[in-house]
Every structure is written in structure tokens, then in C-alpha cells.
Structure 1
């Protein structure tokens, strides 16, 4: 059937949908303008007809190649970004409608300048050149493009001198007292997330996708059937988390949700799901004269690892807690609560101020609340 325009629920953008000579298609036009969308529909239909005659290698677009790369297990990061209103951006959007056969080094260099105008050579390489080349190489495997050597950006001459630059938040551990001060300035839902991260050492992506059935409160054990490494692992539960997890597990489903009751999107954006809450906590603390800019979700994992070493925990046990262990015996006992790991996690210190958070009394109720106007004002207890 000929291609038609349609709209998805919750999005203003028009989508092209239908079948042309046996090839089905359903993709966004990237616009909410009906007239422009119809022009895109006509162009898409013409392309599909030509493709059926001349072959895909001659007519496949970068956007289609990117979709195929992601479907094959590649990361969509930097390639496709969709805003809450359905607006699409990223490298694939930049090259929308461009055939692979027509793209060259100059097009890639121009994309890097447009998408990342103020970025360093390293950032452009990581966020533009690397994902573009990954899509291209996948297209080569599918015989949609010819192998090609792409030139990557380099530092200007004379810049290979060691320079001091601000470290990214989350790259180093902090003390639990400092962490408690920061978490106290966060909204309840995100404060609960950070608390769980600081007392499990889990990766943010693991915590955001954690479900009630994976948590055994009585056994003080979390079972992750598939971790970032692709292998199952067990995570011991600190005693501090028992009342929090008990309430959240009773609710069922995804454990940690936003104040709207919605799960956080599973992404590897280094905890970007709660970025606004992190920024808000920094601002509120700054009003109190307390500057804390070195804490992010991944800080917790570094802190747990470092504190366990300081506490004298054996490296093998520490690695199992963090999911670094890869021996067959560790995997065999993934679902079996291990006493040494539980004892080790309970050596993590708990500042009194952490136990004094208001939301401990009713985690579910407080998780649905934002900070009140009074709580948003600078508070003396945050200066402690």
C-alpha cells in the first residue's frame, strides 16, 4: 500500500508508514508541519521505489544505517536523541536523507563542527567521529557501503603539554559525611536513589532498572540476572537500606521511580536521568555557602570501592560486591546470599545525619513529593 502520514500518541511529529514493493516502513519525519511531512513522505516513497530497482547499497541513507547499527546492538548515544516533545537530534538527524554513497570526509568534519562547535578534538572524536565510523563499519559488514579510512581530529601541535583541568564529577570517591550533606539537599525520590547507590555500589543503570522480584529483603540480597558485563551477579544489601527497600518492594514493579511515579529511562548517560536534581542540590547548598560539585550518581560506586579497601575488605570480596569478579565459582553462587559479602557491605559507615532524613518514616509517600518552599531555602543543617 502507498505510504501514509500518521501521528503517535503523545507526539506532535508526523510519521511515515506503509509498504512499498514489499518493504515496510515506519519512521519519523522529524516535523509536526503536515505540509513538510508530506513532502518527506513523497521523497521516501520515491527512494524506496528506486531502492527496489537499483539495490540498497546505492540508496541506503545514513539514518537507515544508524537504525540497523542500533538494532544490531550498537549504542544509540550521540546518534539519536529524542526530546520529551518528540524532537529528534543527534548525528543521525544531522545526516537525515543523506545517502551513504554521497558522504565523505568533508561531510563528517562539517558535522563535527556544527554539532560540537566548541568541543575539543578529543570530545569531537568520541562523540561524533567514533559513532559515525561505527555505523559506517556496520554498513560495510551488511555490504551497504565500501570500506574506507576515516581521518580523525588531532590536537593542534604544541598542545601535548600536561595541563590541569577540572575533573568530571563522579570520577573520585568522597567521604560519607560529605555525601550525606549533598543527599540532604536532594528531593526525596532522588535522595533515595543516591542512598541506595552509596550503600550497594551498584551501577546507576543497574539501579534504575531494578525490579521488586530481584530483591530479597530477609536474605539481604539482590539478584541481577544480567549486569553490564552480561553476566548475572548478586549484590549484598546494607542494613541501612532495609526499611527503604521494604517499602519500595511492597509497591512492586520497578523499585526506584520519579516523583511522578514513573520509571527512569534505562540509559548509560552516567546518571543523567537525575541530572536536574543533582543541579538543584548544588544550587541549594551554594546558598548555604557549601560548595559541592564533585558528587554525581557514579561517585557512589567509587566511594563504596574505596571505603571497602580502607575497611580492610579482601579484594576478592570487594570485586564480587562491585560485580568485577569473573570466576566461574562466583557466577555459580549468584543467587545464593553470601555472608562474607553482606558483612563487608555493612562495614560502610552511616553518618547520623543520613538516618535523620524525613523520608525514612514513609519512603513511598515522600518519594512522590518535591521539596517544599521552606525546604528549598538555605538551611543551617546543610552547613554542618
Structure 2
């Protein structure tokens, strides 16, 4: 076997620790050369690479605590289930799925895409069928769809900038964090298509654009060609994640609730409303799931960047109330995106 020279800094000043690092690194390289890269990559390697893509970091700390330096090839379904039970012993299946299985599978799919691991079908927890017991829990805003007329009234009570992103959520079904990450390169008005580069599942996907969005998104796309976010706050800053109590959109939502008197709308309401609206319109479940990013077939991934006529036709079945279309910023977003809602601060009339 031919010798191989690798030069790599340990970034350590302590000679003893540096020597330990050298020995471990040489062992890893030897194993990789002998057995292949799939035999050496750890979950931490995959997680670090996954986060470098700009993927959301939420919930990943618990994964690192459980798997850290464990090699990907050694992780089993039983390991995953056992870790979830220990971390969430009293949680419902939906909670374990959302906060543990989904981020784990996203990291795994990323590793498989790098050829660091084999493609694998992981089993997720399921809600027991036919259960007669109902757990009492408080209703949280944003977990149910609303009528588009009510949604229009709520959005009309917002400042134009947050109203724009909320409108996009109600006519794409995007998760808020996906909308926050959009740039000019992700949107093609001509093709009526946008691309979510890094979704919750770790896979990119294409999303059709409703004709209503195409009427006013043009100026936002032009502005975003400076390399910034497509959607921005009235002060021109990118929106941040709203979960766990943060984000400028949360302030806008609370203000609109106060002004409109409508309390059951949150950033995720748009996603639930799109899903229900497509069902009511008679859209085929496969089309609906692909629009919302539920479909995870190889074929759906293949068409990430290819506009699909059935999806575009389906999204246009969502209704647009006259009130929504008549909002002043729709006709001229550039003249309105830095203004604030009436009675909101001293920057109300600034442009």
C-alpha cells in the first residue's frame, strides 16, 4: 500500500494533548483508508456538516448529547427509540417525532447525501389508533386553520412588512423559518416557483407560487439581490426564528392581535390554512403533501428546481379575499415596506 502524507494542524498548544490528537487522527485515517468513509464518520461529523448548510439548529443539542462521537454505522433503530424514551418519557408521540426523530432523520439524510451513511428508513413513533382516552391540554394559537376572510382581516391590521411575510405563509404553506431564509436566488417569478434550500426534513424542495404573490413580490426580489433576505422587518433587518419567544414577527403578531381582536392566528396558522384550503378545493393528497414538503420520495426531490404545472394549478385554488387584494402595499410594496401600522411608534409614515 502506498504511503499517504497528511498535514493538519491540531490547533493545540499542549504537546501531550496534540500527540493524543495525532494518534487518534492517524487511526481514523487508517480505518477510513482500509474500510471506507462510512466506517469512520460519526454523528457529530454529520451534524456539524448539516449545520454548515444553514439548517435550523433547533433541538439538535439533545441529539449531540445522545450520539456525539458514535459512528453512524453503529446507530440502530433501538438506539434511536431508547434515546427518545429517556429524553421524553412522558411526551406524546407527536412531540417525540417533532423534537427528536425529525431532526435526527434530517441529519441522517444529509449524511447519506454525502455518502457517509446508507439510506435508511427510520421508524417514527405513531399515535395509537382507536384510543378512547383524550389528554386534556390547552389550545395554542396557530395549531388550527382559519378562514381566508378572517386571515385577511388579521393581516390588514399588521404593518406592511410583516403583512407581506404573513401573506406569503398563507399562500405557500411554508414554515416560518423557511420563509425567513429565502433569498432572491430562491425565487423565480417567471416560473412561479421557489426553492427551499434546507427544510425541516433536511431535503430541499420546490414550492409553487400563487398568482397573488407574483403580483407584488417583484420589488422584494429586486431588493434581495443585494444578498440579503427576501422578507425584512420595517427597519430592513432579516426576521429571526419566532419559536422560544424570539423574533421580530412575534411583536408584529401580538400587535395585530391587539388591533384586530383576532387571537387565534400565529405564524404557523398559514401552513395549517393552506393544507385545509387545498383539501377543501379537492386537491389530490399527493399534490398537497408535495406542496407542504410532506412528500419525501426520490421523484419529488428530483423535481426540486423544476416548476410543476399540477402544483401551480393547485396553489391557485386558494381564495384571495377582496380586502387582502385591496391592501395599499400590494400595489406598491417599495413605498410601504418601511412603514408601521397606524398607532405603532413614531416611524409610522417613514419610507
Q: Alpha carbons of 1:139 and 1:216: their partners in 2 closer, same or farther (altered >3 Å)? A: closer
Unaligned runs of 5+ in 2: 1-9, 22-43, 72-82, 91-132, 347-351
Match of 1:295 among 259, 265, 270: 265
Q: Alpha carbons of 1:271 and 1:359: their partners in 2 closer, same or farther (altered >3 Å)? A: farther
Q: Identify the residue that residue 260 of structure 1 maps to in structure 2.
A: 235
Match of 1:345 among 298, 315, 331: 315
Maintained 8 Å contact 1:236/1:345: yes
Match of 1:371 among 318, 336, 341: 341
Maintained 8 Å contact 2:145/2:269: yes
CA–CA distance in structure 1, aligned partners of residues 169 and 298 of structure 2: 26
Establish whether residue 186 from structure 1 lines up as the match of residue 115 from structure 2.
Answer: no
- Name the SS of the counterpart of 1:240 in structure 2: helix
CA–CA distance in structure 2, aligned partners of residues 152 and 214 of structure 1: 36
Q: Identify the residue that residue 23 of structure 1 maps to in structure 2.
A: 12
Q: Alpha carbons of 1:171 and 1:78: their partners in 2 closer, same or farther (altered >3 Å)? A: same
Establish whether residue 137 from structure 1 lines up as the match of residue 66 from structure 2.
Answer: yes
Q: Identify the residue that residue 207 of structure 1 maps to in structure 2.
A: 179
Establish whether residue 304 from structure 1 lines up as the match of residue 274 from structure 2.
Answer: yes
CA deviation after TM superposition for structure 1 residue 364, in Å = 2.1
CA–CA distance in structure 1, aligned partners of residues 197 and 213 of structure 2: 21
CA deviation after TM superposition for structure 1 residue 232, in Å = 2.4
Q: Alpha carbons of 1:219 and 1:283: their partners in 2 closer, same or farther (altered >3 Å)? A: same
Establish whether residue 249 from structure 1 lines up as the match of residue 221 from structure 2.
Answer: yes
CA–CA distance in structure 1, aligned partners of residues 64 and 182 of structure 2: 31
CA deviation after TM superposition for structure 1 residue 187, in Å = 1.1
Q: Identify the residue that residue 274 of structure 1 maps to in structure 2.
A: 249
CA–CA distance in structure 2, aligned partners of residues 319 and 329 of structure 1: 13
- For residues 362-383 of structure 1, give each alpha carbon's deviation from its aligned partner in whole angstroms, at most 9, with x where no partner exists: 212211111233999xxxxxxx
- Name the SS of the counterpart of 2:167 in structure 1: helix
- Name the SS of the counterpart of 2:194 in structure 1: strand
- Name the SS of the counterpart of 1:341 in structure 2: helix
Maintained 8 Å contact 1:210/1:255: yes
Q: Structure 1-normalised TM-score?
A: 0.57
CA–CA distance in structure 2, aligned partners of residues 76 and 335 of structure 1: 25
Match of 1:173 among 125, 129, 145: 145
Aligned 1:85-104 pairs, distance under 5 A: none
Q: Identify the residue that residue 192 of structure 2 maps to in structure 1.
A: 220
CA–CA distance in structure 2, aligned partners of residues 339 and 227 of structure 1: 22
CA–CA distance in structure 2, aligned partners of residues 232 and 214 of structure 1: 11
Establish whether residue 195 from structure 1 lines up as the match of residue 167 from structure 2.
Answer: yes
Stretches of 4+ aligned residues off by more than 4 angstroms: 67-79, 138-142, 149-155, 266-273
CA–CA distance in structure 2, aligned partners of residues 306 and 153 of structure 1: 30
- Name the SS of the counterpart of 1:235 in structure 2: strand
CA–CA distance in structure 1, aligned partners of residues 159 and 251 of structure 2: 10
Maintained 8 Å contact 2:195/2:304: yes
More strand by share: 1
CA–CA distance in structure 1, aligned partners of residues 272 and 278 of structure 2: 10
- Name the SS of the counterpart of 1:297 in structure 2: coil
Q: Structure 2-normalised TM-score?
A: 0.62
Unaligned runs of 5+ in 1: 1-20, 25-48, 57-66, 80-130, 143-148, 156-160, 287-291, 377-384
**Could you say which structure has the greater relative contact order, defined with CA pairs below 8 angstroms and 6 or more residues apart?**
2
